Amino acid sequence: MVGGGPPHEVRLLASIKAKKGCMHTCSSEHIHLWGPMSKKPTSREVFLGTRMESLGGRPSFLKVQMCLHLLLETFQNGRNPERRYLMESHELALNGQVALVTGASSGLGRATALALAQAGADVALLARSADDLQKVITALTSHGRRALAFAGDLAHEDDIVNAVAQAIETFGRIDILVNAAGIDAPGAVVQLATSEWDYVVDVNLRAPFLLAKAVFPHMSQARRGTIINISSVAGKRGWANASAYCASKFGLTGFTQALAAEGKAYGIRACIIYPGGMATHWGVWSSTQRAVSQLEPPPVTKALPPAEVASLIVWMAAAPAELVLNEVIISPLEEEGWP
């Protein structure tokens, strides 16, 4: 337990495993890191719940300790204006890599695209709003990164297939896939239209499947790749009037675990993040409504800044290839109803 620090709580349920062929392997036991944090934790303040086995006869915790330090640093620096985000101290960690981010026109998707670019990656964007995508493209290219935008509906398979094909044609590769797009159709089960249920599942679950299916052959040929699926705390516990959303997010967990099992033989990592409430415009498509909400951002104790979650995503993508941060739960300190 580490006390004090920023007014939001970082709750991580992380399972770090070393891939076959590296110096160490870890058991499937979990690492529990409970925050918030105000200072760099000592080795005694971090509870490491994994069992390490040396494959090379030289037992050492160095690499895992390094990765845990970077992970903790993401949040330790969250309120420090001089070192706001993880990648500011690890710039260009993704230099030469290409990322595809969905839902990249706003919210977490936009923050993730910007963070990946800051870390050195070229970025392909996929979302519905062409106008909003162009604004993100302008921000990315102003930092010297190559960027490509595709305006399309993730419920349409052709839009997904074409976006991946054009990204490969333009950049020659895709190293990182971040499935950040998500929608909801609120309503009681007895009132929810079948078409609404289908659309939520299409965007939240079927689209990550189609995207992973499209990039997998390219990643397997390169013998490396990272796929990060953005779920929600609704993927850990269901609640009333959100049946389609919760079902799609629970399904995303199973899909991610299956994908990870299939991908590890090819050097492909599949990870999932369960964010709590974030300060985004999620579900708001009107530019007028977005402008109003920007004037009154929620307190950080109630909603996570997207850029902080994006920093964690960058760390997951930039972590040593033999390590996998399988899953993370992160929520604001005063989020209601969780856990």
Active site residue 245: yes
Ranges of H-type helices in 43-183: 62-76, 107-118, 130-141, 157-171
Structure token pair of residue 272: 């999932």
Q: What is the pLDDT of residue 337?
A: 58
For residue 127, give Cα distances in angstroms to 104, 106, 309, 312.
6, 9, 19, 21
pLDDT by residue (tens digit) across 80-110? 444 444 444 456 789 999 999 999 999 999 9
Positive or negative, the Cα torsion across 281, 283, 289, 293? Answer: negative
| pLDDT (0 to 100) of residue 1 | 34
> Is residue 17 in a domain?
yes
Q: Does the residue 3 lie in any domain?
A: no
Tell me whether residue 221 is in a domain: yes
* Angle in degrees, 0-180, between the axes of helices 107-118 and 130-141, rounded to the nearest 10: 20
Which SS3 state, helix, strand or coil, does residue 169 take?
A: helix
Residue tagged active-site, from 85, 245, 266, 274: 245
Domain count, the chain: 1
Task: Assess if residue 6 is contained within a domain.
Answer: no
* Cβ burial 308-328 (10 Å sphere, 16+ → b, else e): bbbbbbbbbbbbeebbbbbbb
Say how far residue 35 (Cα) sits from the centre of its chain.
Answer: 19
Q: How confident is the model at residue 170 (pLDDT cuts 50, 70, 90)?
A: very high
In a domain, 1, yes or no: no
Q: 8 pLDDT exceeds 90? A: no
Amino acid at 269: R
Over residues 158-172, the mean pLDDT reads: 96
Q: Is residue 272 in a domain?
A: yes
Q: What is the CATH number of the domain that holds 128?
A: 3.40.50.720
Residues 185-201 have pLDDT tens digits of 999 999 999 999 999 99
Q: Is residue 37 part of a domain?
A: yes
**Cβ pair 102, 139 in contact under 8 A:** no
pLDDT band per the 50, 70, 90 thresholds, residue 281: low
Three-state DSSP state, 329: strand
What does the alpha-carbon distance between residue 193 and residue 312 come to, in Å, rounded to a whole number? 36
Residue 337 in domain: no
- Residue 280: CB atoms within 10 Å: 22
Owning domain of residue 298: 11-330
- Predicted pLDDT of residue 285: 39
